[in-house]
């Protein structure tokens, strides 16, 4: 059997891998580099510098406050010695003067997110910031440390903990809290504690209701597509620099390679108001489901007068729909839970700490921050629907919507992660879907066919490119990107089109206040100039995550890999008995769909398989194969085992590095 079980699942945060330097297409050396800022881009960025309150330096004070230690070079390596995190790459941001190729508002945010190290928040609360995309919180409990959110990767989490040990002393971890189900807040956990620590009761792991299901399921079915799009979103594979990646809005980026892990929680927060006392520290929780993440919570340390808002409030406007792809977030619920947090906690807090970006001190500032972040999501929600009810479509609303000055002039509501227009599109999609109601848009031609016809109707590629060049000179970069995309999709070998498109995307990137938009534009430009860089390493889901999946989820994820046309006319039924969990399943292929039923076996199955869940997990995680374990006698079967290989041969292994900016 083909060794393909390991590619069963691709988890969004599972692996970003190292790349070969081989270039896919031959581009002349001078065209391989990103361009300079055009005059109009320089003017655009200079105008931004005039419109925002750059004299307000409060954020810099707060982001620098309480610094305990900042290593001269925060460079983190994985077990193979490869650099996975390197803050020295951002030294160019220490320069105060603006770069022409960075929106000055984004440059400001990037400089703030550069302030990394170990920080003291108050007597018993510390944070490590800038050691990964998210923050790690450290509470000094009676006998050790309570950790909030152990980062994305075991390598970065281990390094952050080392920084704590070096400066606050080596003490045991008494509890770990996962604030929500996104991987940047839990998947580094085995860098700081072991499964054994939890089994023996030395460490509690606390998480919100629904955590396990949401942590593993969000990326299971569409994980391959999300992972590819996440490369665009975080820009982890872009060079750092004034013409490259400068930030990710929430923090610097994701590590360039991620070692994921997961330890299931021992204690679950089931309702708001629930209190847990761990090692002398009392914590009061507010459950906030269906906000920034499906399983999510804020919490207060009442004796320490410190509020933690997870990612529900951060130092930027957050995404209602992440551009890497996910289900839409509920803006109304999100705003509602922030307003509720003000009621519950603001009188009891002297400082608010966050899952990303720096803390804010003082009741007045805390309330202003929470109130205006809530209002931003509420405004976008309500105004999108107001305009939709007037008949405006998604693109029109996104163009129209602007936060009022009372919200927009607050730095924490700026567009560093999402933009107001992008979020308006998310609200529209949440309520009305992608269709604008115009029947011309019911069934348009797909991109390549449409592009070929557009280019032909517009007089051929040369004609389009010559007009597009004129539009480029006039600074109409959005239009150039839109129209030249047709030339690239009609003929991806057209080098002039690729390079003009890359030029336009770069100008858009240089002007973007949103780090996410900038990363998308610049990574798109890089792939137009160089083609797609394929990884050296095979991608497999981590065993910890596979173990947390239910058999239903694993069979469902096989179903979305089934190649329907190839499976036409085939009928395969397999009985599964998982010997260690004593679960039974019937897996059946018929009508080109793969279905499964729990607790059922068929007398007429082509094959009956007895396997332990443990071995099944290892096959799924790519650590072994069905055939190897059959040879070892660890998988028993009756009937024809060929049915299993026949079925597995019908499952696609999707290309992790599929094309995006070209067909």
Cα 545 to Cα 217: distance, rounded to the nearest angstrom: 10
Residue of 62, 132, 155, 184 interacting with Zn ion (CB under 5 A): 184
Cβ proximity to Zn ion: between 34 and 315 the closer is 315
Show the binding pattern over residues 595-634: x = contacts Zn ion (CB under 5 A), - = does not.
Answer: ----------------------------------------
Nearest approach, Cβ of residue 292 and Zn ion (Å):
8
Cβ proximity to Zn ion: between 182 and 381 the closer is 182
Cβ proximity to Zn ion: between 299 and 555 the closer is 299
Q: At what angle do helices 477-490 and 461-473 cross, to 10 degrees?
A: 160
Neighbours of 482 (CB within 10 A): 13
Cβ proximity to Zn ion: between 293 and 300 the closer is 293
Nearest approach, Cβ of residue 369 and Zn ion (Å):
17
Nearest approach, Cβ of residue 161 and Zn ion (Å):
19
Cβ proximity to Zn ion: between 178 and 585 the closer is 178
Nearest approach, Cβ of residue 296 and Zn ion (Å):
10
Nearest approach, Cβ of residue 635 and Zn ion (Å):
40
Reported residue count of the chain is 663
What are the tokens at 184?
């940047």
Contacts to Zn ion from residues 251-270, by CB under 5 A: none
Contact criterion met (CB below 8 Å) for 116 and 67: no
Show the binding pattern over residues 394-433: x = contacts Zn ion (CB under 5 A), - = does not.
Answer: ----------------------------------------
Q: Please state the separation of Cα 133 from the chain's center in Å.
A: 10
Buried/exposed code over 513-544 (b: 16+ C-beta within 10 A; e: otherwise)? bbbbbbbbbbbbbbbbbbbbbebeeebbbbbb
DSSP alpha helix (H) spans, 401-550: 405-408, 420-432, 447-457, 461-473, 477-490, 495-511, 515-530, 543-548
Nearest approach, Cβ of residue 311 and Zn ion (Å):
4
- Beta-strand pair 204-208/67-69: unpaired
Cβ proximity to Zn ion: between 104 and 255 the closer is 255
Cα 482 to Cα 44: distance, rounded to the nearest angstrom: 20
Which whole-number Å values give the CA distances from 45 to 39, 99, 294, 411, in the listed order? 10, 9, 37, 17
Nearest approach, Cβ of residue 439 and Zn ion (Å):
41
Nearest approach, Cβ of residue 380 and Zn ion (Å):
20
Contacts to Zn ion from residues 283-322, by CB under 5 A: 311
Stretch that binds Zn ion, among 182-190, 449-457, 599-607, 654-662 (CB under 5 A): 182-190
Cβ proximity to Zn ion: between 181 and 608 the closer is 181
Cα 109 to Cα 89: distance, rounded to the nearest angstrom: 16
Contacts to Zn ion from residues 91-150, by CB under 5 A: 134
Stretch that binds Zn ion, among 46-54, 180-188, 325-333, 565-573 (CB under 5 A): 180-188
Cβ proximity to Zn ion: between 319 and 413 the closer is 319
Cβ proximity to Zn ion: between 107 and 312 the closer is 312
Nearest approach, Cβ of residue 179 and Zn ion (Å):
8
Contact criterion met (CB below 8 Å) for 198 and 170: no
Q: What is the dihedral of CA 305, 357, 298, 542, to 10 degrees?
A: -130
**Phi, psi at 507, each rounded to 5°:** -60, -40
Cβ proximity to Zn ion: between 197 and 311 the closer is 311
Stretch that binds Zn ion, among 33-41, 351-359, 462-470, 605-613 (CB under 5 A): 351-359
Handedness of CA 199, 205, 210, 211 (dihedral sign): negative
Stretch that binds Zn ion, among 252-260, 316-324, 347-355, 617-625 (CB under 5 A): 347-355
Cα 120 to Cα 358: distance, rounded to the nearest angstrom: 11
Contacts to Zn ion from residues 354-383, by CB under 5 A: 355
Kindly state the number of chain residues that form the binding site for Zn ion, as judged by CB under 5 A: 5
By the criterion CB under 5 A, which residues form the site for Zn ion? Answer: 134, 182, 184, 311, 355
């Amino acid at each position: 059997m083909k060794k393909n079980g390991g590619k069963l699942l691709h988890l969004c945060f599972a692996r970003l891998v190292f790349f070969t330097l081989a270039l896919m297409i031959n581009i002349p050396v001078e065209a391989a580099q990103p361009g300079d800022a055009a005059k109009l881009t320089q003017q655009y960025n200079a105008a931004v510098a005039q419109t925002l309150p750059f004299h307000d330096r409060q954020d810099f004070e707060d982001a620098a406050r309480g610094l305990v230690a900042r290593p001269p070079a925060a460079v983190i390596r994985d077990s193979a010695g490869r650099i996975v995190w390197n803050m020295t790459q951002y030294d160019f941001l220490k320069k105060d003067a603006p770069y022409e190729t960075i929106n000055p508002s984004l440059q400001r945010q990037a400089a703030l997110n550069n302030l990394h190290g170990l920080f003291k928040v108050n007597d018993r609360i510390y944070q490590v910031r800038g050691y990964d995309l998210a923050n790690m919180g450290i509470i000094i409990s009676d006998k050790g440390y309570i950790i909030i959110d152990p980062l994305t990767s075991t390598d970065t989490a281990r390094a952050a903990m080392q920084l704590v040990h070096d400066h606050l002393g080596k003490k045991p971890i008494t509890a770990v809290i996962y604030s929500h189900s996104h991987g940047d807040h839990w998947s580094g956990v085995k860098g700081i504690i072991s499964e054994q620590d939890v089994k023996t009761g030395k460490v509690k792991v606390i998480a919100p209701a629904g955590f396990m299901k949401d942590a593993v399921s969000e990326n299971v079915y569409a994980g391959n597509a999300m992972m590819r799009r996440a490369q665009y979103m975080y820009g982890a594979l872009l060079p750092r620099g004034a013409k490259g990646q400068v930030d990710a809005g929430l923090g610097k980026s994701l590590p360039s390679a991620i070692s994921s892990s997961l330890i299931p929680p021992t204690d679950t927060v089931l309702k708001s108001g629930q209190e847990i006392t761990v090692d002398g520290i009392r914590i009061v929780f507010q459950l906030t489901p269906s906000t920034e993440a499906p399983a999510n919570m804020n919490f207060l340390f009442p004796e320490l007068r410190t509020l933690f808002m997870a990612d529900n409030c951060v130092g930027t406007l957050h995404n209602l729909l992440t551009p890497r792809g996910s289900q839409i977030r509920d803006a109304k619920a999100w705003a509602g839970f922030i307003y509720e947090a003000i009621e519950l906690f603001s009188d009891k807090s002297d400082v608010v700490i966050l899952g990303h970006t720096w803390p804010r001190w003082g009741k007045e500032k805390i309330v202003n921050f929470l109130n205006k972040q809530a209002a931003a999501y509420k405004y976008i929600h309500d105004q999108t629907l107001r305009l939709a009810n007037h008949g405006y479509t998604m693109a029109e609303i996104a163009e129209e919507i602007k936060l009022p000055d009372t919200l927009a002039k607050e730095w924490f509501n700026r567009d560093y992660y999402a933009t107001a227009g992008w979020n308006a599109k998310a609200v529209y999609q949440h309520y009305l879907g992608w269709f604008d109601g115009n029947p011309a848009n019911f069934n348009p031609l797909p991109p390549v066919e449409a592009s070929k016809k557009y280019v032909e109707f517009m007089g051929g590629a040369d004609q389009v490119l010559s007009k597009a060049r004129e539009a480029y000179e006039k600074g109409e970069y959005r239009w150039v990107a839109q129209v030249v995309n047709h030339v690239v999709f009609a003929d991806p070998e057209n080098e002039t089109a690729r390079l003009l498109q890359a030029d336009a995307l770069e100008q858009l990137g240089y002007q973007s206040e949103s780090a996410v938009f900038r990363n998308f534009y610049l990574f798109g430009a890089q792939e137009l100039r160089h083609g797609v860089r394929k990884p050296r390493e095979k991608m497999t889901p981590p065993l910890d995550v596979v173990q947390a999946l239910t058999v239903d989820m694993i069979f469902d994820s096989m179903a979305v890999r089934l190649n329907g046309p190839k499976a036409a006319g085939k009928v395969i039924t397999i009985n599964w008995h998982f010997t260690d969990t004593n679960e039974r399943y019937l897996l059946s292929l018929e009508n080109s769909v793969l279905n499964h039923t729990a607790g059922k076996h068929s007398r007429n199955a082509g094959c009956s398989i007895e396997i332990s869940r443990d071995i099944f997990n290892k096959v799924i995680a790519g650590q072994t194969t069905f055939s190897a374990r059959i040879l070892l006698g660890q998988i028993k079967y009756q009937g024809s085992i060929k049915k299993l290989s026949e079925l597995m041969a019908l499952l696609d292994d999707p290309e992790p590095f599929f094309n995006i900016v070209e067909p």
